[in-house]
Chains A and B, each alone.
Chain A
């Protein structure tokens, strides 16, 4: 999904040969270390210069009963020598560590794809737990795929024997054996993984050595085993990329870094109030380690205290930030109203997950758009922006801080479980290229005979920000309606009308400071536009690219600013004959666009907790243009 960094122009996209890419899925029991294996394979892929996108898919349960289908944890990676923007529709290779992993994942494997299974785990008990009546490795039921099975468990035990580990600990090295095999399959260096293992087990060198031995054994197995044509080595050339320094980044990481960068560009210390919730907690974890950047983190007693403390910190002159996921955002709603009413800067990050209620805590969805734009009591306008990819979350976080501090308003930053957990290569930004937007606190005492007016405004309608501790500017703010001129309590009808309009117009005015909406693939005007927001970027972009390559007149428009919308968006949308809006919800942006522009935006919805497949969007494009 590293679109910002790859040199693929729309022309390239139309002329390039079919992409050379491979999709691999590692699947095993929750305790098998599949996420770790996937993460390290991702790193080796990035170091080999391939572009990539990943999709970690793990159960909500911390440790579901071993061997069960609901305890299966999977990690999918799509990598290749051209731009990769999704984790791939269907795997080419499935590595299944037990029967449950095979059962839950084999159905999505491409016909003719390769299954590698650990036969050591296919005993009667595990087969029964997965609901197999006979052993699929032997009964021919996997005939439409290529199947290789060997006893990875035993091979691992043999490899780590010299280190004297207990049986359980020794079997834990299975994932490194598997990773070693995968590294051989795709012609990868082992050294970075060995370095990582040495560092990880610095306090238990025998574990480091055992894991490295398992890694090497897996690699050697690939090299020497005579399995025939099925298991062969593949080499993918590095993807063409803009020169520069790269690293892999997950959305949670880049968003955290963006918040830190935003606070620095605003010249403010940052206060982050959070409460643990999946999948938002990673942001709290990342920021807790960055104290030298003027970051104070506070794990509050609940979601309300998390936002309350952030509002208090903003009142005291820090950049207040809070973060959560749908259910937690719901709890913060009343306090958001307070921040809107008192016009304090605040960034609220929502890492969306499947809802409503507890819903699908570890699965992705983009069903909180209504909640973000409309979901508060009263006329409570708030800017909303949405990140499209892990790397994009960095710039979106800076943008959220800019709007919050320049307009004295809470801002909601939407990301989702997919973006938060997925990794992609990221071209390390040059921080010198970002324009600072320093905050200026109001500190001039009022003239003789005049009183302090905390609701005095600048040309953008942003009210003054006065830090407690500033002499002669003592004032009181609060959630009760205030007089438009003085800031004192005022319930008068005409005053409420004036203040409500003031708040609405201030937020609409944010549109003056954002770039006009661009067309990210295709051209303004034409037969069809696919409009997206958030993490559907990858599949929409690839689907539009494929359709255009086949000569279809279709363009891709992807929104970062959900509220207020870019000023030219209405005209842009009206320049196409048809509009399709793919969303991982039942049609929320679609409603917003219809409401704002009276256009015939048609929904394409997927609410399964899984990202869109390219093919699903491609099919919708074809249908619209047929």
Chain B
């Protein structure tokens, strides 16, 4: 990129009219992604956005990169083929709570456990928007919707817990309108392997303010932004997270005069998977919402292993189609009928 003019967010925007509802959180995410791309130093032609079906899945049409708007729940499968066919491509999967965790739950699990190098942005708005407001697999118990007029009765899935349980090696959370979103996206892009980012996204039409208890300005004290090597503080540093060593659970403690060490506040280590599990499972209310890069511990990627095995298996073998079709136990028929 050095010799090239630095790209701007505009270079990553298409000429297509964006068709989300006015005030939709998707606009904020789109802007954040378009703002982040130039800072990643990537080429638009080497970038592919792949989506499933749902409001969020219109996303690729607005990115001036290669894009594939696929079918409901299946974006990870198409992404897997793209990346295996050309590992040089930078692959982003755009999905939603229904797309990734309901119809596509199986593929989400497998793309994570295989550790395909890609970024998975899951726009979680806890509702089916495009189909007009039914409850989703992340909706809280009691959600009233056209399909659950008396309130939903099934328990929601926790996307980040699902990702960790599926052996995901990068798990992060962010908020659509948050200033920190670009930093989280950059960290996800820097991680080699499947990087899972849950973005709390406000659906202004069908589920407005569902995350207000921690996203509203006056509730910002309920956000716990995690940073590697820094103490887990929130509420302007007045509170922190510590470990209840007897119960082996996390615990909220008060921090007096900024002396977090005295209060026993934990320092965030993104490689600590046990703590990551506890952070994503903290019941909101008694605890703050854990945000930022919760877990980041890379290991070799799926496509690199495939490329390596293909190379090793091919080493020293010259492809000879004529020899291949004649392989195995063969025999010659000469002009005269022969007998052995």
Contacts and interface: CB of A to CB of B under 8 A. Distances in A.
Nearest to B88: A469
B98 to A, nearest CB: 16
23 contacts: A48-B340, A257-B324, A260-B321, A269-B85, A271-B81, A292-B313, A292-B314, A293-B321, A294-B319, A298-B80, A301-B109, A305-B106, A309-B81, A312-B79, A316-B48, A317-B85, A335-B74, A428-B325, A430-B322, A431-B325, A468-B46, A468-B89, A477-B69
Interface stretch (A158-166, A215-223, A243-251, A406-414): A243-251
Interface in B33-77: 43-46, 48, 50, 60-61, 63-71, 74, 76-77
Nearest to B317: A292
A592 to B, nearest CB: 28
Given A244-B332, A245-B332, A246-B332, A49 B337 contact: yes
A468 B321 contact: no
The binding surface of chain B is classed by DSSP as mixed
Contacts of B331: 46-47, 49, 245-247
A471 B85 contact: no
A429 interface: yes
Interface centre among A240, A312, A469 (most CB of B within 10 A): A312
Contacts of B83: 312
Given A257-B324, A476-B60, A308 B66 contact: no
Given A316-B89, A335-B74, A310 B107 contact: no
Nearest to B48: A468
B81 A316 contact: yes
Given A240-B337, A245-B331, 18 more contacts: A49-B338, A237-B339, A238-B337, A239-B337, A245-B333, A246-B332, A248-B328, A291-B313, A304-B107, A305-B74, A305-B106, A306-B77, A311-B81, A312-B77, A315-B82, A477-B68, A478-B70, A480-B69
A472 B64 CA distance: 10
The binding surface of chain A is classed by DSSP as mixed
A468 B66 contact: yes
A552 to B, nearest CB: 30
Nearest to A241: B333
Nearest to B103: A304
Nearest to A309: B81
A189 B340 contact: yes
B245 interface: no
B3 interface: no
A469 B89 contact: yes
Given A243-B335, A428-B330, A474-B64, A469 B45 contact: yes
Contact of B45 (A338, A432, A474): A474
A158 to B, nearest CB: 30
Given A48-B339, A271-B85, A468-B82, A335 B71 contact: yes
Interface centre among B46, B61, B66, B89 (most CB of A within 10 A): B66
A334 interface: yes
A242 interface: yes
Interface in A445-465: 451
Interface residues on B, range: 35 or more
Contacts of B319: 264, 292-294
Interface in A276-308: 290-294, 296, 298, 300-302, 304-308
A269 B87 CA distance: 14
B306 interface: yes
B15 A451 contact: yes
A164 B272 CA distance: 56
Given A246-B333, A305-B110, A475 B85 contact: no
Which 4 residue pairs spanning A and B have beta carbons closest together?
A: A312-B81, A308-B77, A478-B69, A309-B81
A80 interface: no
A475 B66 contact: yes
A146 interface: no
A103 to B, nearest CB: 35
Contacts of B71: 308, 334-335, 337-338, 479
Contacts of A242: 333
Contact of A245 (B67, B314, B326): B326
A489 interface: yes
A468 B70 contact: no
Nearest to B78: A312
Contact of B330 (A246, A300, A338, A474): A246
Contacts of B131: none
B249 interface: no
B334 interface: yes
B179 interface: no
